[in-house]
Chain A
Amino acid sequence: MVDAQATISEALLARDGVVAKMPSFLVAGGDAGALIARKDWRASALGAVESWPAALVRNLRLCLESRFPFAIAWGPERTQLYNDAFLSICGGKHPAAMGQDMRTCWASAWPTFGPSYERALSGNGSFVEDGRLFLDRRGILEETFFSFSFSPIRDDDDTIAGVLLTVIETTRKMLDARRASFLRDIVTSGVSATSPREAMELAMRVLDEAAFDVPFAFVYSVDAAGNEAELVAHTRSTPERYCPVSVDLRPERARWPLAEVVRANRYRVLDGLAERFELETIGPYPEPPRSAVLLPISSAGSLTPQALLVVGTSPRLILDEHYRAFFERVAGAMATSVASARAHEEQRRRAEQLSALDRAKTTFFSNVSHEFRTPLTLLSGPLEDELAERDAPLPEARRQRLATAHRNTLRLIKLVNVLLDFSRIEAGRAMARYQPTQLGTLTSELASLFRAAIERAGLTLSVEIEPQSEPVFVDRDMWEKIVLNLVSNAFKHTFSGSIRVRLRYLPTAAELDVIDTGIGIAEHELSALFDRFHRVYGAKSRTHEGTGIGLPLVRELARLHGGDVRVVSKPDYGSRFTVTIPLGSAHLPAEQVDTDASPTPAGAGVAAYVQEAMQWSTRQAEADEAHSTAVAASGQAAAGSLGKVLLAEDNADMRTYIVGLLTSTYQVLPVPDGRAALDALANFQPDLLLTDVMMPRLDGIQLLRAVRADPRTRQLPVIFLSARAGEEAALEGIEAGADDYLVKPFAARELLARVRTHVELSRARRDWAAHLERTNQELEAFSYSVSHDLRTPLRAIDGFSKAILTRNAAQLDEEGKQYLARVRKAASRMGELIDELLALSRVSRAPLRRQTTSLSALAERVAREQRELQPDHSVSLEVEPNLNVHADARLLEIALEKLLENSWKFTARRSDARVRVGRVTADKPTFYVADNGAGFEQTYAHRLFQPFQRLHTDADFPGTGIGLAIVQRIIARHGGRIWAEGREGHGATFYFTLPDT
């Protein structure tokens, strides 16, 4: 460092004795003081140092001793003196600046300094904050910022002889603040960009304003392969010849080293612009930029940049780390904008695709609806004609069939119409015609159309219309649909109480309330209620034949009037739907407002709504009747003889149709819903349940669950009938335990075939069960009498044999006694057999009473008994503690008795007899009783558990051959399994499981 060098040489100078000549006020002045001391001032305006006026010396001493940058301009020639702290301000001007005319020294800054200097000379101090000045202290004219103050210095005679300059540099702070504001603007502008190109253009517009930092800038987009760059945008200052529209990145020597930057994906500084381009003035300064920076704009994580930014650097700024960091932040901000714009673009494209899809769907609905209407019209027309035929009327039975067809054709037409209305609105083609209307009269008329249907269903209808002379602008067809849909909806979900239709006027709107005391809507369903095709699941309703677009239609229609619909509801209390329509016509499109107030006839749709409602209340009457009959008795059911079918179906026509199909063969009981079916089951005892899936009150799935949960109906075959053809529905049905599944529309023959199969199966199953029950009863009676009747003669045989042996012993020889002893032995064995057989039958018959039982304790107890019975046979017994099971303790004790008896018996010949009772696995417990006795051949293991099967001779091991059969039955009664492992001469192990339920 040059300054340091100077300091050292001056210190040497001082040591050589110059110090002795240095005036005292300069001694503390550091390098600046030393320079002043060394300089020969005699030729200057100030004259020799020794002759300097006291005021100058005093002020100079003050400056030199301060660590704050100070300079003094003294005398008419503005001779400049300064301190060490001022050196950094001088830069390359030091040491020439010492003693120089201040104005000459700071000529480039004088436009800023001058006025303040002059003011000071006239006796007024001044302070300028963050003044912008151009200094040539580093070989170039440099843009800098200073806060400075000029103050007057008075001579001893009080005249102003000099000026004191105090200065502090704020360049860093000012540039940072300026650049930060541009960065902020780039980011902000990027937010509104809808495409990457727009984001880049907007960034250039921000840089247009940043000419002091960015004299020119342009940006290229780079294709994915990195082969070609295309100009996207440039600042207004950028000469077009700088930035060709497209650049081939492949040749190595391009004008700008764009290719290099693309490959390296990192910034690059390009110096010597003068050599590359013919220099010209760009931006605010006469000097052309000396260098440029090339920066990649890349999204996070990508290897090749998506764009390239080229920026010129200001000729009046040094390209230091701060400046470079600024350029990098510009590129970073642009990358962010580009990325967010790309996301925007993506989102918009998705939204457009969705709306296109929606339009296509709506068009489809519309087309389909139209297509449907033609054949429907051709269906209903001829049917109507036929029904109206007077000259050659059809017989009543056939007329009924046609009437059913006709009614359902009308219903289909209505559904298609609603769908069509909706698709029209969706497509924005609803050409509403808003006419001034006496809304009260119209509403009252429409609501009253439902009166008959509502009252027939046992409900009350009240219509409250607030009088109002001013007409309301509505499209009458639309208002009609609003009222019809709301009232129809209320009726559909109300089973007792009332429906109120109320029209009131608020200051700016008419308000229609439709209030019912129906089932209400759960809060979580409310939000989606007006969504198309949304249906409240499982709701009790008069019908499930909804379209799911009635309420959404109401909302769309209300909105077309500038109004809306809202709902409040509470489950089990009812609902209130409120439609608000603004008064006047100012809010409506003028071209659709029609001032003609003449009434128009009611639309053709009205009849369909009312007819449908009528049908619901008729059907309810039928349903109630069917229900009560079903509960009362099964006699009402139609008579066929091959089996009984319970039919649950909410659609009256469908019910009638199916009954018609089945009635000649089966006894059919039709009911309108799942609840009624459930109630009818116990009395009717059907062989088959045929049920719809979607039904009010209790749907098919719920019905099926209830049927399967009841042990009396668990076996009942169930066939689902459903209109939902998806595989999903079939799975749902089968999973819930349905036996079969038919999708509507179904062929009559298919229905008949399936019903026949299941009824026959059911009958067979039931016959078999009855047969089994009878057999069981017989068996029980048999074993009961065996108990009595077989034992009595046995007892006589044994008793009298004994009597002969004791009382008539004298008349008997040895042989006779032997024979009688054998008679007694046989009788006793017969008695044992009978007892065992009885036990076997009893363990199968006795009810299972499960309780938590300690198998360990039972085993210990049974073993104790065995020990008492056979005191001579010593057995070492190990019972694992805490073997707890949920089982019938009595039966389990019998099982253990037989098993341990067995163990004792087969270990009888061993002196080291060992019996173990324990458990093998902890999670799915398997218990065992193991002995080291005679064992058996594994080949015969399966025969062990069959009655009277014995693997040993009576002489070896006496027994009845029933014991293990009893054990097996006891374990089976518990739902468990028993098996045995053994080896002849090496013992046997009996394993068994005892499931908890």
Chain B
Amino acid sequence: MTQAPILLIEDNDDDADLTEMAFRDANISNPIVRVRDGVEALALLHGNGAASPAPLPVVVLLDLKLPKVGGIEVLKSIRASDATRHLPVVVLTSSDEDRDRIEAYAHFANSYVRKPVDYDAFVAASRELGLYWTVTNVPPPET
């Protein structure tokens, strides 16, 4: 069975590569689909213009600071659509400002993870995160 992808919404190439590396190092084999900004992310999720929509990701990893449409906007849009409302969204960001956390949770983010500077810590966090959302967590039944 092909594994459902992980959607990574991240504008910074370094961070994106590090995240992918971290997942690999943590032995999470789900394919990682990466987009660079909010517009791209929404197009992908809502299947705008595509003949057959891409399969929904098992989890969305969302940076907050994005060009064009910001992270919170993306979150709002995911929660606004019936098709994507149930998607687990993990905010993955450098900021641990109160107001960012408050805002993320206010728009029903499932989790908020601050990216550690230390790579080893980052790998550890990615592993826990990936295992939880791809293995432990049971998504709602398909309708």
Contacts and interface: CB of A to CB of B under 8 A. Distances in A.
Instruction: Say whether A associates with B.
Output: yes
Interface in B1-27: 12, 14-15, 17-18, 21-22
A787 B122 contact: no
Contacts of A838: 96
B96 A796 contact: no
A803 interface: yes
A791 interface: yes
A798 B118 contact: yes
B15 A792 contact: yes
A798 B14 CA distance: 11
Interface centre among A791, A801, A838, A846 (most CB of B within 10 A): A791
B15 A784 contact: no
Interface in B43-92: 65
Contact of A794 (B22, B117, B120): B117
A824 interface: yes
Nearest to A787: B95
Interface centre among B18, B65, B119 (most CB of A within 10 A): B119
A791 B18 CA distance: 13
Interface in A806-848: 824, 827-828, 830-831, 834, 838, 842, 846
B12 A792 contact: yes
A784 B95 contact: yes
A911 to B, nearest CB: 31
Contacts of B98: 842, 846
B34 interface: no
Contacts of A793: 14
A794 B94 CA distance: 11
Contact of A795 (B18, B65, B95, B96): B18
A398 interface: no
Interface in B107-143: 115-120, 122
A799 B94 contact: no
A788 B95 CA distance: 5
A850 interface: no
Contacts of B21: 799, 803
A647 to B, nearest CB: 43
Contacts, number: 63
B18 A799 contact: yes
A173 B119 CA distance: 125
A787 B15 contact: no
Contacts of B120: 802
A394 B47 CA distance: 87
Contact of B14 (A789, A792, A846): A792
Interface residues of B, number: 21
A800 B119 CA distance: 9
A791 B14 contact: no
Contacts of A784: 95, 97
Nearest to B98: A846
Nearest to A784: B97
Interface in A112-149: none
B97 A795 contact: no
B18 A796 contact: yes
Contacts of A824: 119
Interface centre among A784, A793, A795 (most CB of B within 10 A): A795
A799 B119 contact: yes
Contact of B115 (A791, A842, A846): A791
A99 to B, nearest CB: 135
B93 A795 contact: no
Interface centre among A788, A801, A846 (most CB of B within 10 A): A788
A490 B124 CA distance: 86
B99 to A, nearest CB: 9
A80 B97 CA distance: 136
Given A792-B15, A793-B14, A795-B18, A802 B119 contact: yes
A828 B12 CA distance: 20
Contact of B122 (A788, A799, A830, A842): A799
B105 to A, nearest CB: 17
Contact of B117 (A791, A803, A842, A846): A791
A801 B17 CA distance: 13
Contacts of B94: 787-789, 791-792, 795
Nearest to B22: A799
B117 A828 contact: yes
B15 A796 contact: yes
Interface string A469-502: 0000000000000000000000000000000000
A834 to B, nearest CB: 8
A351 B120 CA distance: 101
Nearest to B120: A802
Contacts of B17: 799
A85 B20 CA distance: 144
Contacts of B95: 784, 787-788
A803 B123 CA distance: 12
Contacts of A789: 94
Contacts of B115: 791, 795
Nearest to B115: A795
A788 B65 contact: yes
A803 B120 CA distance: 11
A842 B97 CA distance: 8
A796 B14 contact: yes
A392 B126 CA distance: 98
Contacts of B93: 788
B12 A798 contact: no
Nearest to A831: B117
A793 B15 CA distance: 9
Interface in A552-600: none
Contacts of B118: 798, 827-828, 831
A795 B121 CA distance: 11
Contacts of A799: 14, 17-18, 21-22, 119, 122
A787 B14 contact: no
Contacts of B96: 787, 838
B129 to A, nearest CB: 16
Contacts of A827: 117-118
A798 B117 contact: yes
A830 B17 CA distance: 21
A801 B122 CA distance: 14
A838 B100 CA distance: 14
A827 B116 CA distance: 11
Contacts of A801: 119
A794 B122 CA distance: 12
Contacts of B14: 792-793, 795-796, 799-800
Interface centre among A792, A798, A800, A803 (most CB of B within 10 A): A792
Contacts of A795: 14-15, 18, 94, 115-117, 119, 122
23 contacts: A784-B95, A784-B97, A787-B95, A787-B97, A788-B65, A789-B94, A792-B15, A792-B94, A793-B14, A795-B14, A795-B115, A795-B116, A796-B14, A798-B117, A799-B14, A799-B22, A799-B119, A800-B18, A827-B117, A831-B117, A831-B118, A842-B98, A846-B98
Interface of B: 12, 14-15, 17-18, 21-22, 65, 93-98, 115-120, 122
Given A788-B95, A798-B117, A828-B117, 8 more contacts: A795-B14, A795-B18, A801-B119, A802-B120, A803-B119, A824-B119, A828-B118, A831-B116
Top 9 A-B pairs, shortest CB-CB distance:
A831-B117, A796-B14, A799-B18, A802-B119, A791-B94, A799-B119, A788-B94, A787-B95, A798-B119
